[in-house]
Amino acid sequence: MTTILTYIILRLFVRKKYTLEGDELRHLASAKTFYKLWNNSFYDMHPPLYSWLIRVFRSGVLVSLGCSIGLYYIAYNLYGVLGLTYNQKILALTFLAFNYTLIYYSNRTFRYQLIALLGTLGVYLLLTHQWIAGGITLGLLGLTCTFAGLRGFWIWLLLGANWLALLYYGVVFGSWFVIKARVYSKVKYHPSGIEGMVEEVNPFTFKQLLTPMYFKWNHSYYGEKELGYTLKGWMKRVGGVFGLYEPLHILVPIILVFMIRGMFSSPIWVSLLVLILLYPSLLKRYLPRNSIIAIPFIGFLLAKGIPPIPTGVIFIIQGVLLSVFLIFHHVLFTAKPNIKAKGVSKYLNSLPGDGVIVDGMICQPIAYQTNKRVIVLTREPKEPEAIYQTDLAINEFKTNYAVIRECDYTSATLYIRDHKLIRTIKEDNTIYHVYQL
């Protein structure tokens, strides 16, 4: 009881004041229109399950918090199936309770708690030979995050490779690729990728179905994922998965020692699964959150590898750590965050015409706060290509206005500045220019 109360208190009160941006606004905006975003077109970057849940429950924070509490319950039962003693269960759940990566995403509008929940639940269901439910759960994991869904195949392979589970996993997960293939086959251009830049999507390859980041213009900007070979880079990423604040990343080698010690007394599939799930966090352009499914299994290995600690001592440690967390972070999870570009969005809503092309750094708040069709300005550095892509966005999608920041001087924004300036708005310590196209 003490551990679950500590777990819930941390998720209700440990949160910094912040500004809504990035994926949070994309999820909220796509939930408003039941999975349309840029240009009121199908949103092809992230699968739709998390946004659909926001649509149903009317709150991304509520969905994340519910998934977080569900993760505790599933992990508790999973640890029982894996044979942990009561004392070891408390130790593993304490690791989950104070893992700052899990805490951070438990009261924000991100999909990562849902990813952790579905991944852990899928393992539990396959371990208990609930093949159909396990296969569907891993398929739903793919409808939350494409690359997490691909790792669902490794979960299936390591846990018995039951063909009935694979069938249901393939049908559910495969539906995402069928939907995207149908969307791409009906159009030549589509606002694709993280920021919704216009891309030529037809013809397309299977690699591009996996992620629109492999389309030509997205790929030229974002590049390949590479391993972070520096020791400091690896410790930072793995330290993030361990839920450590950056100054505490020096503890990574110690935690690894206990993990390796735990591997010797654990099923081999657990060790292999942790290594597979940790791999994305070693890539330069990925973050620790991409290995969030690994966290409950790291907790299991630590519980097996750390020498026995009396339960009373664990509870005392929980109390001390809880006090420290609440001293430095004490914002209730219902506190409202800030949103940028409110004045710009209000002005755009007052204008006739429904198409607007915007700088990629402000596309999410404008897409969320306006009733306009939003297209994102290209970041192509070469002038001829940038002008071509910008004209394509303007003419193909019939945009009426453009919004750029004063500080942004790319080839595309310089081209936009040749059009008629109709309003300058200063807010968020930023100067925004609105042009009529």
Which one-letter DSSP state was computed for residue 227?
B
Among residues 372, 382, 311, 314, which one has the least CA distance to residue 345? 372
What pLDDT digit, counting tens, does each position of 378-425 carry?
A: 877 777 878 888 888 888 888 889 999 888 888 888 888 888 999 999
- Per DSSP, the three-state class of 404 is strand
Element (H, E) at 425: strand 420-427
Residues pairing with 434 in the sheet: 403, 423
- Residues 173 and 155: beta-carbon distance below 8 Å: no
Question: What pLDDT score does 11 carry?
Answer: 86
Among residues 186, 286, 308, which one has the least CA distance to residue 240? 286
Question: What pLDDT score does 284 carry?
Answer: 61
Among residues 45, 400, 416, 351, which one has the least CA distance to residue 197? 45
Parts of the chain with a pLDDT under 70: 17, 219-230, 283-286, 329-335
Q: Which long-range contacts (CB under 8 A, 24 or more apart) does 117-121 make?
A: 117/67, 117/68, 117/70, 117/71, 117/74, 118/144, 118/148, 119/148, 119/151, 119/152, 119/155, 119/277, 119/292, 119/293, 120/71, 120/74, 120/75, 120/78, 120/293, 120/296, 121/70, 121/74
Residue 46 Cα to chain centre, angstroms: 9
Give the pTM. Answer: 0.91
Question: What pLDDT score does 330 carry?
Answer: 60
Question: What pLDDT score does 94 carry?
Answer: 93
How large is the C-alpha radius of gyration of the chain?
23
Q: CA–CA distance from 254 to each of 9, 16, 96, 198 (Å)?
A: 28, 28, 18, 47
Q: How is the chain split into domains, by residue range?
A: 2-328, 340-436
Q: Using alpha carbons only, give the angle 142, 144, 147 rounded to the nearest 5 degrees.
A: 50
Which amino acid type is present at position 278? L
Among residues 191, 244, 231, which one has the least CA distance to residue 39? 191
CA 243 – CA 245 distance, rounded (Å): 7
Element (H, E) at 338: strand 338-339
- Per DSSP, the three-state class of 42 is strand
CA 188 – CA 4 distance, rounded (Å): 52
Following DSSP, what letter does each residue of 242-272 receive, concatenated? TT--GGGGGGHHHHHHHHHHHHTTS-HHHHH
Q: Cβ neighbours of residue 146 under 8 Å, at least 6 residues apart?
A: 46, 47, 176, 210, 211
